């Protein structure tokens, strides 16, 4: 990260402006909002890159735009018929994915798998049940015989460690491996 953020942003993010505008035009029904959506997407990407630069700037840019559009749809109390009709279009990236991007996606999935494997044991169990199997927090707590508060702490810790590992491209592995895989998040609760 020796390169200045502005230089990186211009080269890696702004170079995809035409594709971003096309995506937003297909994903969002009101043309007068497109400029705001584009700028907000850029602002979110720029702010996130201050902390850590993503491995795939283009993928991160489009994921951010996708999430922004979904947020806008959710925020609208009355969803217009146009927005509902166009909801399937939000996955337009599928026909724009190049073989290189597909390979990057596979590598990121492998990286996530490795990160998951080296999470502390209990944290990994909680993350798997909550985030992969989508089991409610109360049920996870019951199954693992821990409090709901401890489930929250494991999810928070797991998300933080996974994000750090993914954003570092696997370089944070030693930090994760140094974690005691058997120590509970809350020393008062042995579970």
Which residue in 128, 162, 158 sits closest to 143, CA to CA?
128
Q: Are 113 and 106 in contact (CB under 8 A)?
A: no
Q: What pLDDT, on the 0 to 100 scale, is given for residue 97?
A: 61
Are 109 and 138 contained in the same domain? yes
Q: Are 20 and 96 in contact (CB under 8 A)?
A: no
Predicted TM-score (pTM) of the model is 0.43
Nearest to 96 by CA among 71, 67, 59, 64: 59
Q: Which domain holds residue 70?
A: 5-97
Do the domain assignments include residue 28? yes
Domain final residue pick, 97, 129, 158: 97
* Closest alpha carbon to 115 in 165, 74, 62, 59: 165
Render pLDDT for 67-121 as a digit per residue (tens, 0 to 9): 888 888 777 654 455 555 555 555 544 445 666 666 777 787 888 888 888 899 9
Least confident of 87-96, 118-127, 151-160: 87-96
Terminal C-alpha separation, the chain: 41
pLDDT reading at 49 higher than 60: yes
Residues 173 and 118 in one domain: yes
Q: Are residues 64 and 114 in the same domain?
A: no
pLDDT for 77: 52
Q: Which pLDDT value is given to residue 145? A: 95
CA distance 80 to 85: 9
The token duo for 14 is 């702004």
One domain, residues 78 and 106: no
């Amino acid at each position: 990260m020796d390169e200045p953020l502005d230089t990186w942003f211009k080269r890696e993010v702004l170079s995809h402006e035409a594709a971003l505008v096309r995506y937003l035009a297909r994903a969002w029904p009101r043309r007068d909002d497109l400029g705001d959506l584009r700028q907000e997407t850029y602002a979110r990407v720029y702010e996130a890159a201050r902390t850590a630069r993503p491995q795939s700037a283009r993928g991160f840019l489009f994921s951010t735009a996708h999430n922004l559009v979904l947020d806008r749809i959710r925020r609208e109390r009355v969803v217009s018929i146009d927005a509902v009709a166009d909801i399937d279009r939000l996955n337009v990236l599928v026909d724009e994915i190049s073989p290189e991007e597909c390979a990057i996606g596979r590598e990121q999935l492998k990286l996530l798998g490795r990160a998951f494997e080296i999470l502390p044991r209990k944290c990994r169990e909680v993350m798997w049940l909550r985030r992969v199997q989508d089991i409610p927090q109360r049920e996870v707590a019951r199954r693992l015989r821990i409090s709901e508060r401890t489930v929250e702490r494991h999810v928070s810790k797991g998300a933080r460690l996974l994000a750090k590992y993914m954003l570092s491209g696997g370089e944070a592995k030693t930090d994760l491996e140094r974690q005691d895989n058997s120590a509970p998040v809350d020393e008062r609760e042995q579970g």
